[in-house]
């Protein structure tokens, strides 16, 4: 009970003393389990799909900007000079839709994200998640700020987050919320067949920057996360059917 009360007091004070402006750049990486990855590649080869080699992610960066009790989280396009990836701009296939800026409205405790799917714009609304965070006594330092490790669960998948109590903002990479300080690092399970682990870690931070990007109004039909998931499933099924047309299965 005492720990719960202390957490509540810390969280309340974090909102009252939030920073006016802040900008953070995160590096995103994904790593697959080696054994499960080899098993998947063998299965694809046995199906006649050819040799499919999977690896980790190239350098992908995201930027979070905070102002007026609202944060915007978006991908930053960068030139990739990694020779193993062929250089050039990072490219990806947006099978589940093209995700644009994610907005975290701290007062309303909800996320909004514009997504382009099947030639239509949607604004997906997602309430704050209840991670049931457990604050540990593990501390570290990221970019000169003391961070404390917290562990939680998201739909049965483990999430670890390192937050900075000095930066009293309920925000972080992607849809992380509910901690009494800005989250500078997360490590999360994806819960897929490859036992993939994703990591976001802050590499640059600017408190009270002189220039901030203008907040763009979102366009599209407002829709819940559950409703959008159904549209994604329908879109994927249409894609599977289109690829199967004309395929000789004999």
Given a cut of 90, whether residue 97 has pLDDT beyond it is no
User: What are the CB-based long-range contacts (under 8 Å, 24+) for 137-143?
Assistant: 142/184, 142/185, 142/201, 142/202, 143/184, 143/202, 143/203, 143/204, 143/205
Given a cut of 90, whether residue 192 has pLDDT beyond it is no
φ, ψ (nearest 5 deg) of residue 65 = -120, 130
Given a cut of 90, whether residue 54 has pLDDT beyond it is no
**Confidence at 182, pLDDT banded by 50, 70, 90:** very high
Among 32-36, 54-58, 162-166, the range scoring the smallest mean pLDDT is: 54-58
**Residue 36 CA neighbour count, 13 Å, CB half:** 10
Contact status, residue 192 vs residue 170, Cβ threshold 8 Å: no
DSSP β-ladder status, 120-127 and 145-154: unpaired
* The pLDDT of residue 14: 42
Q: Which one of 33-37, 99-103, 117-121, 199-203 scores highest in mean pLDDT?
A: 199-203
Mean pLDDT value of segment 108-126: 93
Q: CA angle, corner 63, sides to 57 and 67, nearest 5?
A: 160
* The pLDDT of residue 83: 46
Q: Give the whole-angstrom CA distance, residue 3 versus residue 1.
A: 5
Q: Give the whole-angstrom CA distance, residue 54 versus residue 76.
A: 23
Contact status, residue 120 vs residue 105, Cβ threshold 8 Å: no
Closest CA to 70 of 213, 204, 202: 213
pLDDT, mean over the chain: 80
Q: Give the whole-angstrom CA distance, residue 37 versus residue 196.
A: 9
Among 22-26, 65-69, 138-142, the range scoring the smallest mean pLDDT is: 65-69
Q: CA angle, corner 156, sides to 240 and 123, nearest 5?
A: 55
* The pLDDT of residue 219: 85
Contact status, residue 120 vs residue 220, Cβ threshold 8 Å: yes
Closest CA to 194 of 48, 49, 35, 29: 35
**Confidence at 8, pLDDT banded by 50, 70, 90:** very low
Interval 134-165: pLDDT, tens: 999 999 999 999 999 999 998 889 999 999 99
- Per the confidence metrics, is the pTM higher than 0.85? no
Contact status, residue 180 vs residue 168, Cβ threshold 8 Å: yes
Given a cut of 80, whether residue 167 has pLDDT beyond it is yes
Given a cut of 70, whether residue 27 has pLDDT beyond it is yes
Contact status, residue 180 vs residue 11, Cβ threshold 8 Å: yes
Mean pLDDT value of segment 54-68: 80
Contact status, residue 8 vs residue 174, Cβ threshold 8 Å: no
Given a cut of 90, whether residue 245 has pLDDT beyond it is no
Mean pLDDT value of segment 47-74: 76
Alpha carbon of residue 63 to chain centroid:
11
* The pLDDT of residue 19: 52
Given a cut of 70, whether residue 244 has pLDDT beyond it is no
């Amino acid at each position: 009970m005492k720990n719960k009360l202390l957490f509540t007091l810390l969280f309340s004070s974090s909102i009252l003393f939030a920073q006016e402006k802040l900008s953070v750049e995160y590096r995103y990486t994904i790593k697959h389990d080696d054994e499960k990855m080899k098993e998947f590649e063998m299965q694809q080869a046995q199906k006649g799909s050819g040799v499919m080699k999977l690896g980790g992610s190239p350098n992908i960066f995201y930027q979070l900007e905070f102002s007026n009790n609202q944060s915007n989280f978006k991908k930053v396009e960068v030139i990739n000079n990694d020779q193993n990836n062929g250089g050039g701009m990072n490219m990806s296939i947006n099978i589940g839709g093209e995700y644009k800026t994610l907005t975290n409205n701290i007062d309303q405790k909800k996320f909004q994200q514009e997504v382009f799917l099947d030639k239509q714009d949607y604004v997906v609304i997602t309430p704050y998640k209840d991670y049931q965070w457990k604050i540990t006594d593990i501390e570290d330092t990221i970019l000169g700020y003391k961070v404390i490790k917290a562990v939680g669960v998201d739909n049965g998948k483990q999430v670890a987050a390192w937050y900075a109590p000095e930066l009293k903002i309920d925000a972080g990479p992607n849809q992380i919320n509910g901690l009494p300080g800005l989250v500078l690092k997360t490590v999360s399970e994806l819960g897929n067949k490859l036992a993939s682990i994703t990591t976001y870690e802050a590499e640059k931070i600017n408190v009270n920057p002189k220039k901030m990007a203008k907040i763009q109004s979102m366009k599209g039909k407002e829709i819940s996360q559950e409703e959008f998931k159904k549209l994604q499933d329908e879109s994927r099924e249409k894609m599977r059917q289109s690829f199967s047309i004309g395929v000789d299965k004999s």
